[in-house]
Amino acid sequence: MKVFTDNEAQQNLELLLGEAQKEGAVGIRQKDGKTFILRPENIPDSPLNIPGLNLPITTEEIIGFIHEGRKGG
């Protein structure tokens, strides 16, 4: 993990954020020796975000299957 001084962090915010994104975390050390960790927020993908399928089927066929399923067979 790369550690920046507080002055470096203030002067190079874009670099700091990019490094945190790439490496997973960066440290920021104050003059008094205290170190803080900066990590990107982990936002999970939506469970509805699934890859599509490229099937040789028409919209009309899909609608027909839906109607058939609603009839019960």
Mean pLDDT of the chain: 92
Question: pTM for the whole thing?
Answer: 0.57
Confidence tier at 39 by pLDDT (50, 70, 90):
very high
CA–CA gap between residue 8 and residue 2 (Å, rounded) = 12
User: What does the pLDDT average to over 28-45?
Assistant: 93
Q: CB neighbours of 16 closer than 8 A, spacing ≥ 6?
A: 4, 8, 9, 26, 28, 38
CA–CA gap between residue 31 and residue 26 (Å, rounded) = 17
User: What does the pLDDT average to over 47-52?
Assistant: 88
User: What does the pLDDT average to over 19-26?
Assistant: 95
CA–CA gap between residue 2 and residue 23 (Å, rounded) = 8
Structural domains in the chain? 1-41 (3.40.1620.10)
